């Protein structure tokens, strides 16, 4: 799915992974609650951004045809 569009993540923006949760949960302790993480790059941002490890920050008010989200369902 990476490379089609940036994908919103639940985590707040942090400049590095230092102090991140190790259990796979969202990192909801924020130093800057005005920015969330987007991942995966987009076809319009160049080849170096079209990879799953690509990440950036955006304001929650950002609207763009290059940003979306993925609906996931967990079965129990």
pLDDT in tens, 31-43: 666 888 888 877 7
Chain-centre distance for alpha carbon 12: 9
Average pLDDT over residues 46-54: 75
Per the confidence metrics, is the pTM higher than 0.85?
no
Rounded to whole angstroms, the Cα distance separating 64 from 56 reads 14
Measured CA to CA in angstroms, residue 54 lies from 33, 48, 70, 72, 76 at distances of 20, 8, 16, 20, 30
């Amino acid at each position: 799915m990476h490379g089609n569009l940036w994908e919103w993540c639940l985590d707040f923006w942090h400049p590095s992974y230092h102090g991140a949760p190790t259990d796979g949960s969202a990192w909801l302790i924020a130093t800057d609650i005005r920015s969330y993480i987007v991942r995966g790059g987009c076809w319009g941002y160049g080849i170096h951004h079209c990879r799953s490890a690509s990440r950036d920050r955006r304001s929650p008010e950002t609207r763009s045809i290059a940003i979306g989200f993925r609906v996931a369902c967990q079965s129990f």
